[in-house]
Amino acid sequence: MAKKMSRKVQPVLIIHGGARASFPKAQMEGLFRDQMEAIVTEAYAILGSGGSAIEAAVKATELLEDHPIFNAGRGSKIQADGKIRLSAALMDGEKLRFSGVFNVQGLKNPIALAQRLNNESSRSLSDRGAASKAREWGLKFRSPYTKGRLEEYRLEKKGKTGTVGAVALDSKGRIAAATSTGGRGMEWPGRVSDTPTVAGNYANELVGLSATGIGEQIVDFALCAKVATRVEDGLSVKEAMQKSFREARKQKFHFGAIALGRDGSFSAMTTTPFMLWAVHTGKAVKISL
């Protein structure tokens, strides 16, 4: 591992709202743009006032979970048995510490539970165990169902929006990655998403990543952990992402990822036609729309 920086670092925050098979329809474009801009700006304010990468990544993910246009928290896709099960993960790059929540029902912000678990001896919890700890710790519960998702389910239609996530670099040079998802939609109950695994969410001292797309393929490719290892082995964030996505395209995988390095360099790539992402560099906001 490289030595920690002592100089003050310019914070950066990158977020995503999922990889997609197509661009959002013209009437949705403005809504997505406005929401992405509002969310990246609100969460960046934490970094701007000296807050930690973990606080900013969690805040951005909570905001994405709370907005029903994204497939995480409220507005998540419905599984084959009519239930919504939520998964989320947080990785503290400085401490090299991962925590995850698998298939919990009715929790307002699964990422808040992942954050709480990050300091515990049992750091990944599933289903009823996760819900029971969330209740014990006083986390909020709320129905994640929306009219749109119920209609999709009734028509057995595939929902368009994907997983959400955020990677933050704070003024002390620390990186955190957070990801949250309602899953693929219409999956068998008990199916485990890539999100609460190191394939779907990973960070170390040099880079943080959050993935979106078909979970099985993200796991097959070990996406986030692979890119992070390549950066550890000496590639730049951009080179590691380019190499990995070249290979992924050859395999005809359907997924995307955002990556943010300790030097503030960032990358957003997808093998799908479109991915919704936004970055705040402290000087400007850039959005993929």
Residue nearest to ligand GLY (CB): 215
Do 137 and 120 touch, CB atoms closer than 8 A? no
**Reduced to 3 states, what is the DSSP secondary structure of residue 274?**
strand
| 163 is annotated as an active-site residue | yes
Q: How far is the CB of 193 from ligand GLY (least distance, A)?
A: 3
Residue closer to ligand GLY (CB basis): 44 or 253: 253
**DSSP assignment string, 210-248:** EEEE-HHHHHHHTHHHHHHHHHHTT--HHHHHHHHHHHH
Dihedrals phi, psi of 2, to nearest 5 degrees: -75, 160
User: In this structure, what are the phi and psi dihedrals at residue 166, rounded to the nearest 5 degrees?
Assistant: -150, 145
User: Residue 163 Cβ, how far from ligand GLY at the closest point, in Å?
Assistant: 4
User: Distance (Å, rounded) from C-alpha 20 to C-alpha 6?
Assistant: 40
Q: Which residues bind ligand GLY (CB under 6 A)?
A: 163, 181, 183-184, 193-195, 212-215
Q: In angstroms, what is the minimal distance from the CB of 275 to ligand GLY? A: 12
Minimum distance from CB of 71 to ligand GLY (Å)? 8
In whole angstroms, what is the distance from residue 219 CA to residue 155 CA? 29
Angle in degrees, CA 16, 93, 180, rounded to 5: 35
Other CB atoms closer than 10 Å to residue 29's CB: what's the count?
12
Nearer residue to ligand GLY within complex by CB, 11 or 75: 75
Nearer to ligand GLY, 61 or 163 (CB): 163
Tell me the closest approach of the beta carbon of residue 270 to ligand GLY, in angstroms: 12
Nearer to ligand GLY, 214 or 287 (CB): 214
Residue 3: which residues within 8 A CB-CB, separation 6 or more? none
Q: Which of 61, 146, 161, 163 is catalytic?
A: 163
Nearer of residues 52 and 212 to ligand GLY, judged by Cβ: 212
DSSP 159: P
Which residues are known to be catalytic? Answer: 163
